[in-house]
Amino acid sequence: MRRDICCASLALRCTVYTVANDDLVSKIMSQMGRRGGQARAKALTAKQRRESAIKASKAAAKARTMKAKERKAAQLGKLGA
């Protein structure tokens, strides 16, 4: 497998990569996301982190509920057709 990497450092202390390998791109993006998450966690208070977690949990529960309703409607549609 051939890996073409071109690296250019910018004044904003970030590095831009031009990569021909999707696996490497995934690793780089994962590292960037991890850095952002750590910085955000340090910036937020415990109360803010808790509120954010509760909001995310509620959104995930709502998404699961909607998906289950859609599956149930699809099954009922198959039985009625």
Question: What is the tens place of the pLDDT at every residue in 2-44?
Answer: 455 555 554 555 666 565 677 888 888 888 888 887 888 889 9
**Domain ranges (residues) in the chain:** 5-80
The C-alpha atoms of residue 24 and residue 15 are separated, in whole angstroms, by: 14
Q: Alpha-carbon Rg of the chain, whole angstroms?
A: 21
Q: Report the pLDDT value the prediction gives residue 68, as an integer from 0 to 100.
A: 95
pTM over 0.85: no
Phi, psi (deg, nearest 5) at residue 2 = -95, 135
Q: Residue 16 in contact with residue 29, Cβ under 8 Å?
A: no
Side-chain-side CA neighbours of residue 59 (13 Å) = 6
- Closest by CA position to 32, among listed 20, 21, 40: 40
